[in-house]
Amino acid sequence: MSSDIPRLLQDSGVPFDMFIQSLTEQLDKAQAAMALKARVGKLPLTFAVKDISLDLRAFVQLLEDEIYIRPAGPGDSEASTIKLGLTTITKSMVEENAMDFEVEDPKLSLGDALGKSKESEDLQRRLEKIGVRNIKQLADLRKTAGTDVIARLARFPHNRLQQLLKIADLPRVTLEPRRTIEPQRAMEPRTTREPQVAIDPRTVKNPGAPIEPGIPMEPGMPMGPRMPIEPRMPMEPGVAINPRVARIPRMAKEPGMPDSIGKQNIPNRTPAPNRFRLRTPLINQNKLLRVLAGDREVPIVELKEGEMVLEPLVSQLGSDATLELGNGESLKIQLVDGYVGSESKEHSEDLSKNIPGGQT
Amino acid sequence: MLRDLAILLEELQQGLTSAISDPALDMRITNAQILLPVDMRIIFRDGGVVLQGDVQRASDDQHWFDGFSRLQIEWQEIPVEEVLL
């Protein structure tokens, strides 16, 4: 190795995974260059690497639970031999054997949750060795294996594991992208014989409740991109139509008024109510869940394991709410974009330090 | 002076392709296996680790090696269209 590399590093070599990466990188480079040459040369057939095996004479060391290897050089004796075999694999085989690198929510990274210290790095490595790379995976593993098994397999202190799992359980609220209702489609004449009904989502969620007036925008209130929603849905035969729900608001036509007047008074795009996505591993879709803000229930418009979408009333926006988990337990949340809950004062301090922009 | 392993592989493939494209060769080669003693080392370059490897250039100045690493490559003839870039 080069003389400008620190002596300790030269003696130790490189971590084994880095060595494998460098080997595959060289193979990829060679394969790409060979393919390019074959295409430029307009040859019908060419040779590609099918299998490659390497008997590498090297020195192997174990440093901080990682395997380091250093290829033997001139004058080195009694080196070990590492036998490596590589073969050509298909794209589907790569996908089957690759780790699932889903986009990681930065607020759920192990590094942030554990904090920045030498001990934390060691704990993070222990979890990574059993395949846990983020907080969500840890919460998932708790459901299938239990905390005792995780602590034993990862040689992880129980108190730190409980602390991590509490952070994993914290409810997180984000504002959904704003949708709009396209009134043109709702107003177009019916062309089929199928009975159809235009539904105002606010009316459906709270039958009989008065429709809230327009939402005054406050400074800092987020406005997401607008998305159209389907204004009509086919009605099942035999379903009674609620006239309050089915009626499409129109301006009454005065005698002598042109036909287009009513359409002119309808805004081109109607903003849909704000929706918030609430995430926490404690949400069990098989339980009877409720979210209460003040003395009224917050409508749940979408529910799946670990998350739900809420459509609060205007008066509930920004207010404190309670998520009832259906097992006698409940969580305090706020209907505010970017809210991150806290189980205790200790966690709230941790989060405010570790999660940029997190509100507690 | 060792070179990047990719350069060695390219040269081996080039040599193989030249050999089979010789019109005087009265046969068709579909597979080839090469077993070579190689000298390998790892260097740090461009912010990463680069694997270098090469065959021994001369037989008389390699006596200080206790033993060589061995690289075995199996080549297979395939249509150019199937080669992925």
Q: What is the mean pLDDT of residues A3-7?
A: 49
State whether residue B64 sits within 8 Å of chain A by CB: yes
Q: What is the mean pLDDT of residues A263-284?
A: 73
CB atoms within 10 A of CB A359: 16
Residue B20 is predicted with a pLDDT of: 75
Of all residues in chain B, the one with the smallest CA distance to A53 is B72
pLDDT digits (tens, 9 = 90+) for A8-66: 555 778 888 889 888 988 988 888 888 888 778 777 777 888 899 999 999 998 887 78
Residue A83 is predicted with a pLDDT of: 94
Q: Residue A57 is nearest to which of B67, B75, B84, comparing CB atoms?
A: B67
Buried b (16+ CB within 10 A) or exposed e, B64-80: ebeebbbbebbbebbeb
State whether residue A248 sits within 8 Å of chain B by CB: no
pLDDT digits (tens, 9 = 90+) for A213-263: 555 555 555 554 444 444 444 444 544 444 444 444 444 444 555 554 444
Least confident span in A25-29, A108-112, B6-10: A108-112
pLDDT digits (tens, 9 = 90+) for A125-136: 888 878 788 888
* CB-based contact B43 A52, cutoff 8 Å: no
A21 contacts on B by Cβ (under 8 Å): 49
pLDDT digits (tens, 9 = 90+) for A166-201: 888 888 888 888 766 665 554 544 444 444 444 444
* CB-based contact B10 A30, cutoff 8 Å: yes
For chains A and B, CB pairs below 8 A equal 143
Mean pLDDT (chain A) is 71
Assess whether pLDDT exceeds 50 at residue B71: yes
Q: Residue A1 is nearest to which of B42, B65, B74, comparing CB atoms?
A: B42
Residue A1 is predicted with a pLDDT of: 46
* CB-based contact A1 B75, cutoff 8 Å: no
Q: Residue B83 is nearest to which of A48, A58, A79, comparing CB atoms?
A: A48
> What percentage of chain A has pLDDT greater than the value 90?
7
H-run or E-run covering B48: strand B48-55
B57 contacts on A by Cβ (under 8 Å): none
State whether residue B49 sits within 8 Å of chain A by CB: yes
Q: What is the mean pLDDT of residues A285-300?
A: 88
B73 contacts on A by Cβ (under 8 Å): 49, 51-52
Residue A81 is predicted with a pLDDT of: 92
Banded model confidence at residue A106, pLDDT cuts 50, 70, 90 = low
pLDDT digits (tens, 9 = 90+) for B17-67: 887 777 777 888 889 999 998 988 888 887 778 899 988 777 666 666 667
Assess whether pLDDT exceeds 90 at residue A137: no
Residue A184 is predicted with a pLDDT of: 54
Least confident span in A108-117, A219-228, A239-248, A308-317: A239-248
- Is residue A287 within 8 A of residue A306, CB to CB? The reply is no
B70 contacts on A by Cβ (under 8 Å): 54-55
Tokens 């505010």 -> residue: A336
State whether residue B67 sits within 8 Å of chain A by CB: yes
Top mean-pLDDT range of A105-109, A232-236, A319-323, A350-354 = A319-323
* CB-based contact A52 B85, cutoff 8 Å: no
Least confident span in A28-37, A104-113, A309-318, B6-15: A104-113
Q: What is the mean pLDDT of residues A267-273?
A: 65
CA distance A48 to A315: 67
Q: SS3 string of chain A?
A: CCCCCCHHHHHHCEEHHHHHHHHHHHHHHHHHHHHHHHHHCCCCEEEEEEEEEEEEEEEEEEECCEEEEEECCCCCCCCEEEEEEEECCCHHHHHHHCCCCCCCCHHHEHHHHHCCCHHHHHHHHHHHHCCCCEHHHHHHHHHHHCHHHHHHHHCCCHHHHHHHHHHHHCCEEEECCCCEECHHHHHCCCCCCCCEEECCHHHHHCCCCCCCCCCCCCCCCCCCCCCEECCEEECCCCCCCCHHHHCCCCCCCCCCCCCCHHHHCCCCCEECCCCEEEECCCCCCCCCCEEEECCEECCEEEEECCEEEECCCHHHCCCEEEEECCCCCEEEEECCCCEECCCCHHHHHHHHHHCCCCEC
Dihedral angle, C-alpha B23, B24, B27, B32, nearest 10 °: -80
Strand A320-324 with A196-198, pairing: unpaired
State whether residue B34 sits within 8 Å of chain A by CB: no
Residue B73 is predicted with a pLDDT of: 93
Q: Which residue has the higher pLDDT, A293 or A107?
A: A293
Q: Which residue has the higher pLDDT, A352 or B49?
A: B49
B9 contacts on A by Cβ (under 8 Å): 26-27, 30, 34, 49
Assess whether pLDDT exceeds 70 at residue A353: no
- Is residue A337 within 8 A of residue A224, CB to CB? The reply is no
Least confident span in A95-99, A111-115, B69-73: A95-99
Q: What is the mean pLDDT of residues A332-337?
A: 88
* CB-based contact B71 A52, cutoff 8 Å: yes
A5 contacts on B by Cβ (under 8 Å): 44
Contacts of A195 (CB under 8 A, 6+ apart): A234, A235, A241
> Which A residues, 68 through 87, put their C-beta within 8 Å of a C-beta on chain B?
70-79
* CB-based contact A38 B48, cutoff 8 Å: no
Q: Which residue has the higher pLDDT, A98 or B57?
A: B57
Residue A56 is predicted with a pLDDT of: 92
Report CA Rg, chain A.
30
* CB-based contact B66 A76, cutoff 8 Å: yes
Q: Which residue has the higher pLDDT, A129 or B6?
A: B6
Residue B35 is predicted with a pLDDT of: 93
Assess whether pLDDT exceeds 90 at residue A82: yes
**Size of chain A, expressed as the number of residues it contains:** 360
